């Protein structure tokens, strides 16, 4: 279960909303490999909190499911989830722009991603749609190179995964 969160978003001075816990969260990690191999890992565990003027997104990595139990175990080994159980993304609240009712905002925002115990700056492309009745639908995407985070490029029985990883996060928030 996702913890109940409350955060105050100051979005370009336009929106001041109290946000409850995200719902419908889906984190999708996509990788490509040898001979057209395509691997996707998913998890629905996403926690959002506020810390020192930043929004902090945390994803427990042990719950990422790639569809094959052994592959999950290998992934946990490459990410060393025993020592680094979470991926964390921090984004300055003031850099975010939330849309007016009935509108959609799409923009890029800088963030700090921590993975495998290594923090690196990255750029997040995000899209926020206010669906009505105070609900915001959010999608954020970014692309990282796992080598930048000290993660070995996985190879298994002659199949190698490319170091570039696409990450997509979807969730909904409701203003209260």
**Site for other proteins (CB under 8 A): which residue of 23, 34, 49, 123?**
34
Beta bridge partners of 92: 54
Interacting residue with other proteins among 10, 20, 33, 44 (CB under 8 A): 33
- Interface with other proteins, residue 141, by CB under 8 A: no
Residue placing its CB nearer to other proteins in the complex, 17 or 31: 31
Distance CA 129, CA 146 (A): 30
Residue for token digits 């984004």? 91
- Length in residues, the chain: 176
126, 95 Cβ separation under 8 angstroms: no
List the one residue from 23, 32, 49, 123 that touches other proteins (CB under 8 A). 32
Select from 8, 18, 26, 37 the one that contacts other proteins (CB under 8 A): 37
Closest alpha carbon to 41 in 74, 15, 70, 67: 67
Per CB under 8 A, which of residues 59..88 are in contact with other proteins? 67-73
- Interface residue list for other proteins (CB under 8 A): 32-40, 67-73, 156-159
């Amino acid at each position: 279960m996702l913890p109940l969160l409350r955060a105050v978003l100051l979005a370009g001075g336009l929106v001041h909303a109290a946000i409850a816990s995200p719902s419908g969260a889906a984190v999708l990690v996509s990788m490509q490999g040898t001979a057209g191999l395509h691997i996707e890992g998913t998890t629905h565990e996403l926690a959002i909190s506020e810390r020192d003027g930043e929004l902090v997104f945390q994803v427990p990595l042990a719950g990422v499911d790639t569809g094959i139990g052994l592959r999950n175990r290998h992934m946990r080994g490459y990410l060393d989830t025993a020592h680094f159980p979470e991926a964390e993304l921090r984004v300055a609240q003031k850099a975010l722009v939330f849309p007016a009712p009935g509108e959609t905002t799409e923009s890029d925002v800088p963030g700090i991603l921590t993975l495998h115990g290594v923090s690196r700056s990255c750029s997040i492309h995000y899209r926020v749609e206010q669906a009505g009745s105070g609900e915001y639908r959010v999608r954020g995407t970014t692309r990282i190179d796992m080598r930048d985070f000290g993660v070995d490029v996985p190879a298994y029985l002659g199949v190698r995964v490319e170091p570039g990883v696409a990450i997509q996060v979807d969730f909904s928030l409701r203003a209260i």
